[in-house]
Amino acid sequence: MAVVESGARLGAGVRIGPFCHVSADAVLGDNVELVSHVSVLGATDIGEGCKVFPQAVLGAAPQNLKHRGTRTTLTIGRNTTIREGVTMHVGSDTNHGATSVGENGYFMAYSHVAHDCIIGNNVTLANGAMLAGHCEIGDNVVIGGLTAVHQFARIGNNAFLSGCSAIPGDVIPFGFARGNLAKLRGLNVIGMRRSGMSKSDIQLVRQAYRTIFDRSRTMAENLEIARRDFAGSPVAMSLVEFLSKRGTRYFVTPPLDDAGDDGTDGDD
């Protein structure tokens, strides 16, 4: 009962369940499984070993009123799991024209990836999490259920966005953001440990966090101090470089009443 249009390219071991629709411009890598009732539309390339559950719609036209309808793409990296009702759109022709999802992702039911998003590897979106257009999500990011990320926001590597949060701007690498509108609540220490970071590197990131968000000086001054003091630490410098590239962009900061919170969890 599935429909696979002429021109679609299917790798070895692909399994397509009942009531699926695969477009003529789609590419399914080796061992991809579409469980049932999956729509793969447009120029969508699904990498090896991905599994897609019922009612997911991948590669639909972008929800962008300026899109003129020319060919744009969606690419999904290998070994990604896409659960029920997930939507991912192709890019828009008013931007770079491509939506890109990295490898080993886990997209839980009814999460959404909008046009022109760029998503890294090992990213998890919990149920109902939503990315607006043009977001950039780093590696190992976890986004909690029902959390919404504003268009053009950048989320740094290893960040954790708590559930039911509204993320209005950039979140630093390793940051832990929560609330409506979200504020930084320290660092994602648990995620840092799980990623294999050493205790010394975690402590350096904590020290850099304190320096960068010291309210006794301007942000520009803090970044210059951090650039000097942490020049030998690539992980700490990732925070400095991330914020140095922000230009006039909005970014998420700690609340006024706990600007010194560095994610300490009792294991200093």
Question: What does the pLDDT average to over 56-71?
Answer: 96
For the segment(s) 193-258, the CATH number from 3.30.750, 1.20.1180, 1.10.3470, 1.10.287 is 1.20.1180
Query: Which residues carry out catalysis?
Result: 115-116, 133
Dist. CA 246–CA 235, nearest whole Å: 18
Does the structure show a pLDDT above 90 at 267?
no
Q: Which one is predicted more confidently, 162 or 181?
A: 162
Instruction: Tell me if 3-134 shares its fold with 193-258.
Output: no
Does the structure show a pLDDT above 50 at 265?
no
What is this structure's pTM? Answer: 0.93
Write the pLDDT tens digit of every residue in 79-137.
Answer: 999 999 999 999 999 888 999 999 999 999 999 999 999 999 999 999 999 999 999 99
Report domain 3-134's class: mainly beta
Domain ranges of the chain: 3-134, 193-258
